[in-house]
Structure 1
Amino acid sequence: MRKKSVELLEELGPPQGLLPMEDIQEFGYNRETGFMWLLQGKKKVEHTFKKIKQTVSYAAEVTAFVEKGKLSKITGVKTKELMLWLSVVEVYVPEASPEKVTFKTGTGLSDSFDAAAFALGE
């Protein structure tokens, strides 16, 4: 299942290591609507992207609408900022700078990082 999610990210442009969940029980993607979902065996998984020292939490169910270079209306993904967990609602790779990945939270905050920090295995 993980391989299918990695292949979808590769096809659409965001870094392949963006969803580093290992125990994926179910993966689905509706090409017509762009809706994607992942169900994992554990209740939640935390992953630290070491190159940017950023911890991200993935719920048992993660959903998003995906299109070329962008994941939007994301559910089930949170990032830790100043001791608070903030929901990540959008991730995109700007066309003008494809070496960057920008994350947007539900509070409107956004931050950009080097795409290399989200390569497979990071």
Structure 2
Amino acid sequence: MDKTAVAVLVTVAFSLLGVVGDYFLKLASGREYPLRSGWFYLGFAFYASTAFGWVFVMRHLKLGTISVLYSVSMVLMLTTIGVVVFKESLNYSEMAGIVLAVASLVLLMRFA
């Protein structure tokens, strides 16, 4: 596997870590004092842990590619968490936005 493919996989993996961090931050937001909650510190730790991997990823992918890949991965995973875990609903315009986000990633990876 070449370094570009590894960098793409690392980006998606760090998106997953970010989603886990967001999950804990969502739990913290429901507390009376969210910034004093253990959920907040756990979410913060997940976010901070991704900094190490970004150094590797940025050596092998363009920043524009990273940003789109990371953003689309985060959108898909966070939407899944919101719908499945927190029972949030999606309207048609939100679903269309997700489809367009995926289409942007396909175009970016095809022409990058």
The TM tier, using the shorter chain, reads under 0.3
**Which is higher, the Rg of structure 1 or of structure 2?**
2
Q: Which has the higher helix share?
A: 2
Considering fraction of residues, name the structure with more strand: 1
The TM-score, its normalising length taken from structure 1, stands at 0.21
Bigger relative contact order, structure 1 or 2 (CA pairs below 8 A, ≥6 apart): 2
